[in-house]
Amino acid sequence: MFDHPVESERIVRLVAEYCTDGNIAAFGLETADPAVHDKNNLNVTGDECLEAIRMFNRLAGDRGASGMPKFLPGINFICGLPGESLQTYEHNRRFLQQVLDEGLLVRRINIRKLLEQRVAGGADESAFFKFKDWTRHNVDHPLLQRMLPLGSIVRNVWVESKDGHLTYARQIGTYPLLIGIPYDTPVDRFVDVAIVGHGQRSVTGVEYPLDVNRASLRALEALPAVGAKRAMRIIRARPFANVDAFRRSLDDPAIASTIERFVKV
């Protein structure tokens, strides 16, 4: 990429144009610690990886027809490499914090460790788990919120399985994002989904648009700011002749304006 910037940009543009939306370019950063990079003769430094992330965001971060960004990087970390120390994890944290601070998008972060992690510099297995937990809470969650803000529409989602009252769905593609639909709905079909919540590595959504005259209590409860009491009020007031009638059934105009974009009558 750095020796051939023009050709690299052309390749990224071409892949973004022809690949499935939501695709991931796997970046084997392994570590942002320069000392570990040099000791293990790794291919890319933290600064080089950050510059590549910027390029992908600039050239391929716009949304495709599916609602997902077209082509974003994924970052792979390997912990326990020779030369690692506790300072290594600070380098990795600073790298990820810079991604956040610059407003960049990364589609997926994988954190793995070597089977045997015995490092003279002071890092141990607990450092690995602390770094992984920090990343899931402080990086993955805000990145998902940035990538798919509340109300974002993700199209052509395959409803694939159920676990109790929770239904799981994904788009067709590489490393597809897991979407939890918090109510029972038929599987083995494609639906559009509106995002109503974010986890660490998955999101929550409802079918879009949600038919408020037919939706279950659980489905209505999943709408932003509705909850159990308002969901029951909606059920008691239906059927609605139109969206205006639905809006009038709610006790708060602000909530009505928030959720009316999610629903149909």
CA 208 and chain centroid, separation: 19
pLDDT band at 221, cuts 50/70/90?
very high
Sign of CA dihedral 56, 57, 62, 64: positive
pLDDT average, residue stretch 167-196: 96
pLDDT band at 251, cuts 50/70/90?
confident
pLDDT confidence of residue 148? 97
Statement: residue 240 has pLDDT above 80: yes
Taking CA 263 as the corner, what is the angle to CA 262 and CA 265, rounded to the nearest 5 degrees?
Answer: 170
Statement: residue 254 has pLDDT above 50: yes
User: For residue 34, which phi and psi values (nearest 5 degrees)?
Assistant: -60, -35
Instruction: Please state which of the ranges 58-72, 86-100, 114-128, 216-230 shows the lowest mean pLDDT.
Output: 114-128
pLDDT band at 5, cuts 50/70/90?
confident
pTM for the full model?
0.90
Sign of CA dihedral 227, 230, 235, 240: negative
Task: Indicate the average pLDDT of the chain.
Answer: 93
pLDDT average, residue stretch 24-30: 95
pLDDT band at 110, cuts 50/70/90?
very high
pLDDT band at 143, cuts 50/70/90?
very high
Q: Is 139 helix (H, G, I), strand (E, B) or coil?
A: helix
pLDDT confidence of residue 2? 66
pLDDT confidence of residue 102? 98
pLDDT band at 123, cuts 50/70/90?
low
Pairing of strands 189-198, 202-207: antiparallel
CA 79/CA 231 separation, integer angstroms? 47
Domains of the chain: 5-147 (3.80.30.20), 153-264 (1.10.150.320)
Which run of H or E residues covers position 119? none
CA 172/CA 156 separation, integer angstroms? 8
pLDDT in tens, 156-169: 999 999 999 999 99
Buried b (16+ CB within 10 A) or exposed e, 113-151: beeeeebeeebeeebbeebbeebeeebbeebbeebbeee
Statement: residue 175 has pLDDT above 90: no
Catalogue the long-range contacts made by 254-261 (C-beta closer than 8 Å, 24 or more residues apart): 255/225, 255/226, 255/230, 258/224, 258/225, 259/223, 259/224, 259/225, 259/226, 261/151, 261/194
